[in-house]
Structure 1
Amino acid sequence: MIVNEVTGILEELAPLAYAEDFDNVGLLIGDKNMEVTGILVTLDTLENVVDEAIEKNCNLIISFHPIIFSGLKKITGKNYVERVVLKCIKNDIALYSMHTALDNARIGVNSKICEVLGIQNPKILIPQKGTIKKLTTYVPKAHAQELKEALFRAGAGNIGNYSNCSFSVNGTGSYKAGENANPTIGEIGQVHYEEETQISVTYAKADQSHIINALIQTHPYEEVAYEIHTLENKNQHIGIGMVGILKKPMDEEEFMKWVKKQMNVSCIRHSNLMGKKIKKVAVLGGSGSFAIAAAIGAKADIFITADLKYHQFYEAENKIVLADIGHFETEQFTKNLLVDHLTKKIPNFAISLAESITNPIKYF
């Protein structure tokens, strides 16, 4: 396999189109057409991780966090970022990062936390905006069904549990072909009127290139007229954080002990306990202070996240318990998720879970 084939499998799980605008995801180092000898999956790419990749003959590292986040003006090896980049280049190792694309994926960082903690029926806490698109095009009536089927095959027309969804209106289109045109229907220099069908379909943002390619390849006209609009509708399957329920309610202290055990954490920073059962749980891997209001709005009893500042614990206002279990700790099982996904898709390929320790925070 080549790098591009492996990353394509990863993007089935977490399309890069769903990454946040500030992020730096995708292939950060290396040639997409390079043949892959082995894959090492890690949370962070540090020098010891690259050394492990070399030792295991893995020339593709799949990392959750991007080692290159802001621009590099020099690569001299003066800091850990530059040293990682240099070592990857010297050893022909490609590096691919997923980060917020996997944060926002339906099966991603937060679904893995829910799985580990036994949270059932998880739903997206903050649906991502702008992920649903609408395509409108115009085609001769005789070709309308063929075009719709091509768009459906490319991924258009899926709404929740329904597929092949579209809306059609018949009308009359007109055009006049110029002298350099090659009209499928009509004559050069003559105004032509054609009975056409207007077709509208919705689709996921990540599928746009496939949809447009299917449109252009299937439409009979030399020049294809179409419109694309971003809808305000919320996509309940894409977004950050999750909220669900426990199979059996727990006392607050009992649940805290359960979290420590399942997430392998030595301590939890939390707001005031409220003396009530924990039933509904919100989670957000990594820095999640921006989602406190959303967790309260979802009527969660507790919000598990990381990197909360001193004054942000006040935002609980006795409506919710805020629990900071650590950044690394909330995301630690992400690499297991990626290894499982790749192993199912390419079972006979060398895929390794990084053994190198990358958590920069130690506890005394």
Structure 2
Amino acid sequence: MKLKEICSYLDSAIPLSIQENYDNSGLQTGDPETEIDSALLSLDATVEVIEEAAGSGCGLVITHHPVIFHPLKSLTGRTKAEQIIAMAIRHNIAVYSSHTSLDARSGGVSIKLAEKAGLENIRVLKPLENSLVKLITFVPSDHAGKVREAIFKAGAGVIGNYDMCSYNVEGYGTFRGNEMTNPFAGRKGEMHMEPETRIETIMPSYISGKVVAALIEAHPYEE
């Protein structure tokens, strides 16, 4: 799997958009086109962690804390961050970090710590501002109800005191699958026109990974 595919998946599950302004989560170093066969997980990316990854043949290190918090002006090894990044580059090891985005995510670090502590009635004390994002999907009309139910259950479609909010438009979608496909409707190699429903709704960005996962699970299409 290419590094860019892993980064895309991580961003969908743990959105970078919800990290704090001071944070620098995301890809720290690495060529997005690189093929990754294995990864090492760590709280921090240290010199020892990079050495372990190199010795284990891991092309990617995924950490909680970012190596780079502030812009680097050189890679001379003057600071720990410079040493770590230089070593990662030398061994062709990519580093990806999910810090405050993982803290804030629904089901993330903060929630898990609260659950481990035995807390009850857990709720967000300070909701993220301007965190709403729009979700748009197209689904065969006879499966629209199932998909709506799934994304609403995952937390999408809440506006104030109302939930299950969405906008729906009927239409027709067209597609043609190649020989590698197994289409839900129609036949591979032939263009197919399917009655579809366009579903639009909103959700807080910090639950987007959960909602998209629910959407994919309920949606009948391959892609």
C-alpha distance in structure 1 between counterparts of 2:71 and 2:45, whole Å: 17
Structure 1: unaligned runs, 5 residues or longer: 136-145, 169-198, 207-234, 239-364
**Given that residues 40 and 61 in structure 2 are in contact (C-alpha distance below 8 angstroms), is that contact kept between their aligned partners in structure 1?**
yes
* Partner in structure 1 of residue 71 of structure 2: 71
Within a 5 Å distance, the mapping from 1:108-257 to structure 2 comes to 108-133=108-133, 158-160=156-158, 162-163=163-164, 165-166=166-167, 202-204=201-203, 206=205
Report the 3-state secondary structure (helix = DSSP H, G, I; strand = E; otherwise coil) of the residue aligned with 1:61: strand
Where 1:96 maps in the other structure, the secondary structure is strand
Q: Considering only CA atoms, is the larger Rg found in Structure 1 or Structure 2? A: 1
SS of equivalent residue, structure 1 residue 119 = coil
Task: Measure the CA separation in 2 of the matches of 1:122 and 1:70.
Answer: 33
- RMSD over aligned Cα, in angstroms? 3.4
Aligned residue pair count: 166
TM-score, scaled to structure 2? 0.63
2:221 corresponds in structure 1 to none
Q: 2:165 touches 2:201 (CA, 8 Å); kept in 1? A: no
Deviations 1:216-241 (A, max 9, x none): xxxxxxxxxxxxxxxxxxx8x69xxx
Matches within 5 A, 1:85-96: 85-96=85-96
Instruction: Tell me if structure 1 keeps the 8 A contact 2:166–2:199.
Output: no
- Which residue of structure 1 lines up, in the alignment, with residue 33 of structure 2? 33
Query: Identity over the aligned pairs, expressed in percent?
Result: 32
SS at match of 1:28: strand
In structure 1, what is the Cα distance between the partners aligned to 2:15 and 2:128?
13
Are the structure 2 counterparts of residues 205 and 162 from structure 1 closer, same or farther at C-alpha, using a change threshold of 3 Å? closer
Distance change in 2, residues 1:112/1:43 (3 Å)? same
Distance 1:89 1:27 in 2: 13
Paired with 2:204 and 2:115, the residues of 1 have a C-alpha distance of 27
The alpha-carbon deviation at position 167 of structure 1 amounts to 8.3
Following TM superposition, by how much is the alpha carbon of 1:8 offset from its aligned partner in structure 2, in angstroms? Answer: 2.8
| Structure with the higher fraction of residues in strand conformation | 1
Looking at structure 2, the residues matched to 8 and 84 of structure 1 have their Cα atoms a distance apart, in angstroms, of 24
Residue 119 of structure 1: CA displacement?
Answer: 2.3
Residues 37, 200 of structure 1: alpha-carbon distance in 2 compared, 3 angstrom cutoff: closer
Secondary structure class of the residue paired with 1:10: helix
Q: Distance in 2 between matches of 1:24 and 1:79?
A: 18
CA distance in 2, matches of 1:53, 1:11: 22
Conserved in 2, the CA contact under 8 Å of 1:134 and 1:200? no
Instruction: Find the aligned partners of 2:204 and 2:73 in 1 and give their Cα distance.
Output: 33
Q: CA deviation at 1:41?
A: 0.9
Evaluate the alpha carbon distance shift between residue 133 and residue 5 of structure 1 in structure 2; reply closer, same or farther with a 3 A threshold.
closer
Aligned AA for 2:95?
Answer: L
* Distance in structure 1 (CA, Å) of the matches to 2:5 and 2:133: 26
Whether the 8 Å CA contact 1:132–1:202 is kept in 2: the answer is no
Q: Find the counterpart in structure 2 of residue 190 from structure 1.
A: none
Following superposition, the deviation at residue 4 of structure 1 comes to 2.1
Asked whether the equivalents of residues 13 and 107 of structure 1 are also in contact (C-alpha less than 8 Å), the reply is no
Structure 1 counterpart SS, 2:28:
strand
